[in-house]
Amino acid sequence: MGYTVNVDVGGTFMDFFVTKGEKYVTTKVPTTAYELGVGFIRGLEECAEKDGQTLERFLAETEVIKYCTTIGTNILIEHTGPKLGLITTRGFEDTIFIGRGRQWADGLPSADVQDVTSIEKPVPLIPRRLVVGVRERIDYAGNIVMPLVKEDVLEQLRYLVDQGVRGFVVSLLWSFINPAHEMQIRSIIEEEFPEVYLGNMPVILSSEISPKEGEYVRTMTAIVNAYIHVGFVEQISALCSDLLDRGYKKPLLLCDNVGGCAKVARTKAISTYGASPVSGLCGAARLCAGVNLPNVVFTDAGGTSFDIGLITDGSITHYDLYPTVDRWRTQITAIKITSIGAGGGSIAWLNPLLGNRLEVGPASAKSLPGPACYDLGGEAATVTDADVVLGYVNPDYFLGGKFKLNKEKAVKALKDLGGKSGLDEVAAAMTIKKVIDAKMGNEIFKEVALKGYEPSEFTVFAGGGAGPGHCCGVAVAAEMSKIIVPPISSVAGAYGASTLDIVHSYEKSKNTRLFDYAKGTYFSDFEAFNAIISGLKELAIRDIILEGFKEEQATFRLELEMRYGMQWRSAPVESPLLTIHSTDDVKKVCDTFTEVFSRMYSPEAAFPQGGVEVETYRLFVYLPLPHFLLTQHEDAGEKTPRAALKGQRDAYWEKLGGFRPTDIYQWDRLRAGNVIPGPAVIESDNTTVVIEPDWTFTMAPELYGMITLNS
């Protein structure tokens, strides 16, 4: 059995989780934003070295590499995408500029939304002068009312090319019902401007990227995909070339935001947006299912962001059907993840509008220049600086000692910050910790409580490099009393990638009334329903074969976006049947929707009097891959982990009134059955676990830590 390499690229660090049989190694390297391949190769070299291999030998024995990329995120944030042209139906050229009534608020934190006077609409990814309309019309039923005229299309194309566009987005009315005109325009572009003439100019069709109703969001989904497509292709191609030069000839699989992975050629650029936290959530779900924890809040506190996802009744059931990508509302189907600007690199600052109140984030020092203690030029005080000053993080053992921190720089940064607010460096550090813990904990509480669950019934999954160091304070703010800290917590996204199967999803919008309450009749055109599924399945089988698999290796799952009649919002429902052949089958689908809707919104909210409708069909295809699982170990027979005790260090505990000598333990020396009462600190190569007073740490047989609040 060869190696499986799983990589998660974050804003501050690249995380690596490498498995071979029952063994695994992890590492973290700074994210090299200027050239991602530099950090990527450096991380591979460290993993190879940890297993006693040269890089070339390591790659020769690697079976697959799974990669969570942030390329799309960076391109949107930095606005470094190509100049694009948009081709739409004449008369609808201003659709993306009119947008929605609340377009100005999309993607903004709540604090900014409240300050209405200073809000500005985002700068369009495609300016108005690069939007053209062509004469054509397809109606709601897919009938061609006005045929496309080739000469008209060519006239608009030549205008766009003269303006210097480097790619085309085509989004026509009702193309999700009948894409004929969009496909015709692509053929005209390829015929008139072949690659040898203008180079590689991508043509992105909305009917292929997002074949669903919703003119504005469908167009924006296609635009965002096109905007990140070129940079995405360039960077991934460079990465593949680097691997090929070093002898790796196996697949590079990209993780996506629906909880799967696929080969580069079969992955839409926009599907990789937010893939990292989704991978982490999927990994947490699989791990927690194995240790009988059904209700879990997955958290990943890295250097730049704090990500939250819910696991309820042992599964992931919450989707975002209209996720906001940067400042743009789209309609890709993605697993629901909530992210805020909070992490180890979050910068502390004084808010003059609130009497110089100390706040933390959302701005981050990232990996360069990084926190002041990195000694790479950063001068602003961050969460990591506070952790160093409070004695939680050992400056000589950060990342296992391979990255030394400068405590004096951290003290100076906190003195400078505290001097402006009347606090010394310790008081400033403690305030930063309390603010960031409350910020993350309150976000968890809202995420759980506003979905109708009781927070006290959930366990916090402490992931990310900064997560285990703040988990106790975060759990208190979230009103939770149990925390799970897996051995892979600091590389949760990379571990999650190792648990993913190859997954593709295919969608089609088509309004289908399954139950007409006014007539008291159920849907009877079974062939029409099954024809949609058959069409989606044909696309799935085509991609399966192109990836080198056979149809019989795949598992199919049908998901329907359903709603009661006269309601605007739809809910995703896993269909109990892939196809329907009788009225009883239709009733079974309707009953499943009622069960799901009642569970989500309470039984009183169900409204069968309005009828039951399907708005979108979504077919998932799964191809299983080998997964790494934690194995059980025998109880060590002793509660006190004497062999793991490294010594003591002064650490600040507010409940104890100041600095106190605190036991310091080494994670990899702990054994099943070990119990550590707080206060204490556990150090590992990639993270630090801080056990506050009134909390107790217990090492489970699977060698994960369970931290519980003393009753």
DSSP state of 656: G
> Helix or strand or coil: residue 321?
coil
**Residue 198: its pLDDT value, please?**
47
Report, as an integer, the average pLDDT of 4-21.
Answer: 87
Q: What architecture (CATH level 2) is domain 3-75+234-272?
A: 2-Layer Sandwich (3.30)
Alpha-carbon span 66 to 22, nearest angstrom:
18
**Residue 200: its pLDDT value, please?**
66
Main-chain dihedrals φ then ψ at residue 308, nearest 5 degrees = -130, 135
Neighbouring residues of 329: CB distance < 8 A, sequence distance ≥ 6: 100, 103, 106, 216, 217, 220, 322, 323
Alpha-carbon span 178 to 156, nearest angstrom:
22
> Helix or strand or coil: residue 549?
coil
Main-chain dihedrals φ then ψ at residue 324, nearest 5 degrees = -90, 120
Report, as an integer, the average pLDDT of 218-231.
Answer: 90
- Length of the chain as a residue count: 711
Domain spans of the chain?
A: 3-75+234-272, 78-231, 346-435, 509-617
**Residue 122: its pLDDT value, please?**
80
Sign of CA dihedral 213, 216, 221, 227: positive
Enter the tokens of residue 698.
Answer: 């217990």
**What percentage of the chain reaches a pLDDT higher than 90?**
54
**Residue 196: its pLDDT value, please?**
46
**Residue 195: its pLDDT value, please?**
67
CB 651 within 8 A of CB 679: yes
Tell me: pLDDT of 518 over 50.
yes
**Would you place residue 199 in the very low, low, confident or very high pLDDT band (cuts 50, 70, 90)?**
low
pTM score: 0.88
Alpha-carbon span 201 to 195, nearest angstrom:
7
- 196-200, 275-279, 290-294, 316-320 — which is least confidently predicted? 196-200
| CATH fold of the domain at 78-231 | Rossmann fold (3.40.50)
Report, as an integer, the average pLDDT of 528-542.
Answer: 94
> Helix or strand or coil: residue 272?
helix
Report, as an integer, the average pLDDT of 20-35.
Answer: 84
CB 302 within 8 A of CB 13: yes
Neighbouring residues of 525: CB distance < 8 A, sequence distance ≥ 6: none
**Would you place residue 405 in the very low, low, confident or very high pLDDT band (cuts 50, 70, 90)?**
very high
pLDDT tens-digit readout, 274-289: 888 999 999 999 999 8
Report, as an integer, the average pLDDT of 594-613.
Answer: 83
Tell me: pLDDT of 366 over 90.
no
| Helix/strand/coil percent split, the chain, to 5 | 40, 25, 35
Alpha-carbon span 335 to 124, nearest angstrom:
26
Tell me: pLDDT of 303 over 90.
no
pLDDT tens-digit readout, 319-358: 787 888 888 888 888 888 888 888 899 999 998 888 888 9
Query: Across the chain, what does the average pLDDT equal?
Result: 89
